[in-house]
């Protein structure tokens, strides 16, 4: 574990999570209820970002593999899943939820090994929330006529789903659970750097006895994802990832009659007003940007502090950053884990360099980073111009850009002055002012006096270029239903 040089000058004893987990040497595609070798016989390695060690290798999905998976999903939709009563569908989904709960620790450890996030997060957030998503949606399956009154609750057919590497298991649950509850079948592709927990989920799905072909999991990189979204027999495309790729997807399926939902990037404003509870706000800022190493689309990457409390906030924030434990993600004390991939680390470093070059002041706590793996210390930039690249572009790393403001109307203007609109945060002790600001922010999720909270009952999704459609809650079901308009 990383040594802390700064105060307090005591160290935590290491507390690694040691439960044994079972990772196979090689994984095939999960298609039609069976493990299928890739048609081109190619596999690629998935490594641990915290050690650089190879964990396993997974199949490289070709167009042909995707076609096989879509055919299996179509057959399952026509043959069994599309006709099954909601009650029975729901019972299968409940089973999945329970099996995830039973194997939660194993999945948390694999998630942390494959993705680099602290075990504290995968154990307490990612996996339990994923189970909850299945549990919540399972109950909808036989109640859909109450979700959209006077509308037929008609499923779409085959859903093609492409998910990112920042919350691999949780995103799989977000995507698969509502699709199944609404009567669709699924072809899902996990990200190429974090395929393992989706493949473990395939084991759960098989154990739950789901009919063959209802859920198919194909691994691969961007080309495999493109083959899924562009497949002519895919009725629904659900994508979570960057705004750039999301736009490419919308463009590539523009000529097809597919229902699309996109959950894309963000550059959330986290706003501290002068009367805010400062200690709690600082905690929220840290959670907002350093949670999951900042690999969070809704991360609070822009901090706005009212001028008269700026010095106090920054002093407390830096002090708090000094106490963050950075290192082995499997250690239960770790606050900030490994950067997900070498490529992402390069991107983050490029932005940090740009920030320094642009004249902003940088602060990083002193800490010994492990020598192997991909690491970036928590970073904060002050004196950041609204026009600077680190205040405008999504970095997707532990990098915070701080700006100040004088009036509420000024900060609303600045916060909304971005093409993104996924999330925002406001810290304020006065209810009327809090609701003035939350109401005025153009963002799909707004946290008042908290940040980065998620729940299966709570719709998630963005305004503007952060994508469209909602996931979660009653409203999220609409993304998987054919609602006539």
Partner 1 sequence: MKRIEVLKTYKLYIGGKFPRTESGRYYTPEGRGGKVLGNICQGSRKDFRNAVVAARSVAGGWGKRDPYNRSQILYRIAEMLEGRAAQFEDELKQHGSTAAAARKELQVAVDQCIYYAGWCDKYQQTFSSVNPVASAHFNFSVYQPMGVVAVFAPEKSALAGLLGTILPIIAGGNACVVLASESKPLCAITLAEVLATSDLPGGVINILTGNRDELLDNVSTHMDVNAIVASDLTDAHKAAIKANATHNLKRVIIRKEDPAKSESPYPILATQEIKTTWHPIESSIAAGSGY
Query: How does DSSP assign 371-395, residue by residue?
Result: SSS-----EEEES--TTSHHHHS--
- Record the tokens describing residue 27, joined without a space: 């994984």
Rounded CA separation 433/119 (Å): 37
Query: How does DSSP assign 284-329, residue by residue?
Result: HHHHHHHGGGG--TT---EEEEEGGGHHHHHHHHHHHHHT--BS-T
Kindly report whether the peptide bond that precedes residue 462 is cis, defined as omega within 30 degrees of 0.
no
Catalytic residue among 192, 297, 465, 471: 297
Catalytic residue among 57, 192, 263, 471: 263
- x/- string (CB under 8 A) for partner 1, residues 276-305? -x--x--xx---------------------
**C-alpha 155 chain-centroid distance:** 25
Residue among 235 and 331 whose Cβ is closer to partner 1: 235
- Record the tokens describing residue 211, joined without a space: 């009919």
Residue 159 CB, shortest distance to partner 1, in Å, is: 19
Span near partner 1 by CB under 8 A; candidates 40-48, 336-344, 370-378, 459-467: 459-467
**Whose structure tokens read 């004196």?**
383
* Per rule CB under 8 A, count of chain residues that contact partner 1: 49
- By CB under 8 A, the residues from 378 to 407 that bind partner 1 are none
Give the strand pairing for 158-162 and 236-240.
parallel
Does the annotation mark 376 as catalytic? Answer: no
Residue 136 CB, shortest distance to partner 1, in Å, is: 9
- By CB under 8 A, the residues from 462 to 481 that bind partner 1 are 463-465, 467-468, 470, 473-475
Residue among 105 and 247 whose Cβ is closer to partner 1: 247
Instruction: Specify whether the CB–CB gap between 391 and 385 falls below 8 A.
Output: yes
Residue 409 CB, shortest distance to partner 1, in Å, is: 12
Residue among 410 and 455 whose Cβ is closer to partner 1: 455
- Record the tokens describing residue 340, joined without a space: 């997900």
Residue 470 CB, shortest distance to partner 1, in Å, is: 5
Residue among 383 and 438 whose Cβ is closer to partner 1: 438
Residue among 377 and 469 whose Cβ is closer to partner 1: 469
- Record the tokens describing residue 312, joined without a space: 């106090």
Does the annotation mark 297 as catalytic? Answer: yes
The residues, any chain, with a CB within 8 Å of residue 465's CB and separated by 6 or more, are 243, 264, 265, 419, 420, 421
**Binding flag, residue 13, partner 1 (CB under 8 A):** no
Residue among 20 and 485 whose Cβ is closer to partner 1: 485
- By CB under 8 A, the residues from 242 to 261 that bind partner 1 are 243, 246-248, 250-251, 253-255
Residue 230 CB, shortest distance to partner 1, in Å, is: 14
3-state secondary structure of 206: helix
Residue among 101 and 449 whose Cβ is closer to partner 1: 449
**Binding flag, residue 455, partner 1 (CB under 8 A):** yes
- Record the tokens describing residue 2, joined without a space: 């990383």
Residue 428 CB, shortest distance to partner 1, in Å, is: 10
- By CB under 8 A, the residues from 128 to 187 that bind partner 1 are 132, 148, 150-151
- Containing 251, the helix (H) or strand (E) segment is helix 243-252
Instruction: Specify whether the CB–CB gap between 95 and 208 falls below 8 A.
Output: yes
- Containing 201, the helix (H) or strand (E) segment is helix 196-207
The single residue among 18, 83, 209, 485 that binds partner 1, judged by CB under 8 A, is: 485
Residue 444 CB, shortest distance to partner 1, in Å, is: 6
**C-alpha 253 chain-centroid distance:** 23
Span near partner 1 by CB under 8 A; candidates 46-54, 170-178, 275-283, 301-309: 275-283
- x/- string (CB under 8 A) for partner 1, residues 413-452? ------x--------------x---x----xxxxxxxx--
Residue among 161 and 261 whose Cβ is closer to partner 1: 261
Closest CA to 238 of 176, 313, 307: 176
DSSP, res 155: B
Residue 128 CB, shortest distance to partner 1, in Å, is: 9
Closest CA to 210 of 96, 72, 317: 96
Closest CA to 357 of 374, 321, 375, 381: 381
- Site residues, partner 1 (CB under 8 A): 132, 148, 150-151, 243, 246-248, 250-251, 253-255, 262, 264, 277, 280, 283-284, 419, 434, 438, 443-450, 453, 455, 457-461, 463-465, 467-468, 470, 473-475, 483-485
Please identify every residue annotated as catalytic: 263, 297
């Amino acid at each position: 574990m990383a040594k802390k040089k700064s105060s307090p000058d005591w160290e935590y004893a290491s507390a690694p999570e040691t439960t044994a987990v079972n990772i196979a040497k090689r994984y095939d595609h999960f298609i039609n209820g069976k493990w299928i070798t890739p048609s081109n016989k190619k596999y690629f390695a998935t490594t641990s970002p915290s050690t650089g060690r190879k964990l396993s290798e997974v199949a490289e999905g070709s167009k042909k593999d995707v076609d096989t998976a879509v055919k299996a999903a179509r057959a399952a939709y026509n043959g069994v899943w599309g006709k099954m009563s909601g009650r029975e569908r729901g019972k299968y989904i409940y089973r999945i939820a329970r099996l995830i709960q039973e194997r939660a620790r194993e999945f948390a450890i694999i998630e942390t090994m494959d993705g680099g996030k602290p075990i504290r997060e995968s154990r307490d957030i990612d996996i339990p929330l994923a189970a909850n998503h299945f549990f919540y949606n399972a109950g909808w399956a036989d109640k859909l006529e109450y979700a959209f009154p006077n509308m037929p609750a008609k499923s779409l057919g085959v859903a093609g789903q492409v998910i990112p590497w920042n919350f691999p298991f949780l995103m799989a649950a977000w995507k698969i659970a509502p699709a199944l509850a609404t009567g669709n079948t699924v072809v899902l592709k996990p990200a190429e750097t974090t395929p393992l927990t989706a493949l473990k989920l395939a084991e759960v799905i098989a154990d739950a006895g789901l009919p063959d072909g209802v859920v198919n999991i194909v691994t691969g990189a961007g080309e495999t994802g493109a083959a899924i979204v562009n497949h002519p027999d895919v009725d629904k495309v659900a994508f979570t990832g960057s705004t750039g790729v999301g736009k490419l997807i919308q463009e590539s399926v523009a000529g097809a009659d597919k229902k699309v939902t996109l959950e894309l990037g963000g550059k959330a404003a986290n706003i501290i007003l002068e009367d805010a509870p400062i200690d709690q706000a600082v905690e929220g800022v840290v959670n907002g940007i350093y949670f999951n190493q900042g690999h969070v689309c809704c991360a609070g990457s822009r901090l706005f502090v009212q001028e008269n409390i700026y010095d106090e906030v920054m002093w407390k924030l830096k002090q708090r950053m000094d106490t963050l434990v950075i290192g082995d993600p499997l250690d239960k004390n770790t606050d900030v884990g490994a950067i997900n991939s070498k490529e992402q680390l390069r991107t983050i470093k490029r932005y940090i360099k740009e920030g320094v070059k642009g004249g902003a002041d940088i602060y990083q706590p002193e800490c010994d980073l492990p020598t192997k793996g991909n690491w970036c210390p928590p970073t904060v930039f002050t004196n950041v111009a609204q026009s600077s690249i680190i205040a405008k572009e999504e970095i997707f790393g532990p990098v915070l850009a701080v700006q100040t403001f004088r009036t509420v109307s000024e900060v609303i203007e600045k916060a909304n002055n971005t093409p993104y609109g996924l999330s925002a945060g406001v810290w304020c002790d006065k209810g009327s002012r809090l609701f003035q600001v939350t109401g005025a922010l153009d963002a799909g999720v707004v946290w008042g006096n908290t940040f980065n909270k998620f729940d299966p009952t709570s719709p998630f999704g963005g305004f503007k270029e952060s994508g469209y459609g909602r996931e979660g809650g009653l409203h999220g079901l609409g993304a998987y239903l054919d609602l006539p308009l």
